[in-house]
Amino acid sequence: MCQIFVPVIYNEGLWRINQVTPLHNMQYQPVKLKQYAMKVRQGLVDIVQTASPKYKVTFEELPQLKYNAEDASGLLISVTSSAQDKSKPKEVYSAVLLSWGVTMTLDGASHLPYMLERGEQRVGVSIGFNLVENDSSKSTEQFTLVYRTPQVDHKEKLTLSFDVGDITIIWNGLKDEASNPAELVTLTYQILQNQIFHMIELDVTVVDLCEVILPKAEVKSHGVVKMKTPELINCVFNVLNRITVHDND
């Protein structure tokens, strides 16, 4: 596929550059590629308001389409559609996600990854959005902790919010101190508890953590988990949920 696709990239003037950068966190196992394709397909269905065609999305690893052996593999994304009358599928979009030269340092160079794409614009927008969302939450999004006073029957709750970027900084700073992911999450939560105490002089260890919320994710202490977020945040949510359940026992 690489030998076929490289001449196409150079010889055709139909390609657009879409500045998305999710490659550093991509996983190339067949199961993961199918999961990415399913998420993208669902995103395409969501943007079509009328009777939609049937989309098929495929992700294919291009291990030789990279500048350096240490760089992430290239990725071919193909989208075909067929009408409800089961006519022959037609290609509506294709893209090549590249990561050439990330391991090199060149003065004034624009470092990759980036995505070359051609086909329907709205399909490309949807795919680019899904790739970025799959990679990481925006650093300015809110990571919200919701507490309630134990054994008090009222609807008032205490809500405290942090930027996701701040949570990530704390997380990365504690990686060397933790022996496993569960311990890392526990340490991160302890840091957040300390920050809350210093900011508003509130000891949240005496109240119940009942919800953890992001714009596209939510965990409640009674076990409900709803999320469309990257694995790092999922891990935080799941372990915080276990902490809460343990504290309430």
pLDDT of 236 > 80? The answer is no
Mean pLDDT calculated for residue range 55-67: 83
Q: Cβ(72)–Cβ(99) under 8 Å? A: yes
Q: What is the pLDDT of residue 4?
A: 43
Q: pLDDT class for 230, splitting at 50, 70, 90?
A: very low
Q: Could you tell me which residue, 188 or 47, shows the higher pLDDT?
A: 188
Share of the chain above pLDDT 70, in %: 55
Inform me whether the pLDDT recorded for 118 exceeds 80: yes
Q: What pLDDT does residue 152 have? A: 63
Q: Among the listed ranges 80-89, 101-110, 163-172, which one has the minimum average pLDDT value?
A: 101-110
CA distances from 113 to 73, 96, 121, 162 (A): 10, 10, 20, 29
Residue 3 confidence class, pLDDT cut points 50, 70, 90: very low
Mean pLDDT, residues 233-249: 52
Q: Exposed, middle or buried by CB within 10 Å (0-12, 13-18, 19+), for 29?
A: exposed
* pLDDT beyond 50 at 25: yes
| 111 band by pLDDT with thresholds 50, 70 and 90 | very low
Nearest to 215 by CA among 122, 141, 157: 141
Average pLDDT for the chain: 70
Task: Tell me the C-alpha distance between 189 and 22, whole Å.
Answer: 27
The reported pLDDT for the residue numbered 34 is 85
In this predicted model, which residue has the larger pLDDT, 164 or 158? 158
pLDDT of 155 > 50? The answer is yes
- What span, in angstroms and rounded, lies between the C-alpha atoms of 200 and 196? 6
Closest listed residue to residue 74, CA positions, set 95, 98, 58: 98
Give residue 2's pLDDT band: very low, low, confident or very high (50, 70, 90): very low
pLDDT at 240 over 60: no
